[in-house]
Amino acid sequence: TGTRSMTDKPRVWVSRPTFPGVIARLEPHFEVTVEDTERKLGPSELAARLAGQDAVIVGLKDRIGAAEVGAAERLRIVANLAVGYDNIDVDAMSAAGIAVSNTADVLNESVADYAWALLLGAARRMTAAERWLRAGHWHATEFKAWLGTDVRGRTLGILGMGRIGQAIAHRAVGFGMPVIYHNRSPLPEEVERACRARHVDKAQLLGESDFLVLALPLTPRTRHAIGAAELALMKPTAMLINIARGGIVDDAALAAALRDRRLAGAALDVFEGEPKLHPALLTLDNVVLSPHIASATTETRRAMTSLAVDNVLAMFGHGPHAGRPPNILNPNVL
């Protein structure tokens, strides 16, 4: 990293290609290095990249703990390009005096839209029907082919009722679906009223939901929050939608339940150990699969990048939030 004088600009490293026009907002204040390919770095490569940086913008593929920042003596902020931050050991960053920020809020609506896309896709068997059509099987239109299930009047369950869960609930009005939810702490009454959702305990949520959407973060407490025991409480006609994080669902248990039709269907955007998938999931026709794209719209990915940039700028005293990154997760370090 060489010797640096006090007049050198601080350095920022961006771990992946994003939106150059947005990253350019850093340039007046920082010396910016951007990885030009989408590649997962191993722990020692990552540590070598972080060493000598004053700020970094990283993504879920970058797992950052005490070891990775051990040699990063100048590092003041790790800005995550995601709302979820299970890739970052926040306690270890706090111990090292490093701020951590996420991209809360700017992706709520895109992710909620996508949860509904998956829900409807599963209910109407869209992706299986498309695979069948593309395979050249459509020779005659049959009255009773590809029958799906209606959503109107069915109960929507939401596990994890934060800002994304609430955005999902709001959309249920148009589909005429009553909403129940479970959260560690019930929402204030006026918020419940605004999204017409009723708090129930977890067993009730599992037993009563026709469509169960997961919208909670992955933490040690939520790992396998949906495993064999929970799946057994669900209706055999129910469908599970995961737009949250791989690891919240025990994918092996889910694949077994789908195979045995103990659960009618699922739609998954996230997987345990992704980009690898549990191989059984790939063989099942009653599951819709997508490659972790719930927040992937041009508008939202750009807004996420912009917010990460805002957090870095703020940490170094620039911009409207000077001194206090707007999405800081460990304000104790300030």
Binding site for ligand DGY (CB under 6 A): 60, 82-84, 107, 295
CA–CA dist 102, 169 (Å, integer): 23
Task: Report in angstroms how near the CB of residue 307 gets to ligand DGY at its nearest.
Answer: 11
Nearest residue (CB) to ligand DGY, 60 versus 314: 60
215 bridge partner residues: none
Please report, as a single letter, which amino acid is at residue 27. Answer: E
Nearest residue (CB) to ligand DGY, 264 versus 308: 308
Nearest residue (CB) to ligand DGY, 270 versus 333: 270
How many C-beta atoms surround the C-beta of residue 279 within 10 A? 10
CA–CA dist 126, 113 (Å, integer): 16
CA–CA dist 283, 287 (Å, integer): 9
Q: Which residues are designated catalytic?
A: 245, 274, 292
Task: Report in angstroms how near the CB of residue 80 gets to ligand DGY at its nearest.
Answer: 8
Task: Report in angstroms how near the CB of residue 214 gets to ligand DGY at its nearest.
Answer: 12
Nearest residue (CB) to ligand DGY, 107 versus 255: 107
Nearest residue (CB) to ligand DGY, 101 versus 155: 101
- Lookup: tokens for 302: 């750009």
Task: Report in angstroms how near the CB of residue 145 gets to ligand DGY at its nearest.
Answer: 35
Task: Report in angstroms how near the CB of residue 83 gets to ligand DGY at its nearest.
Answer: 4
Expressed in angstroms, the distance from the first to the final Cα of the chain is: 26
57-60: long-range contacts (C-beta < 8 A, 24 or more apart)? Answer: 57/12, 57/13, 57/14, 57/15, 57/18, 57/81, 57/305, 57/308, 57/309, 57/312, 58/15, 58/87, 58/88, 59/15, 59/16, 59/87, 60/84, 60/87
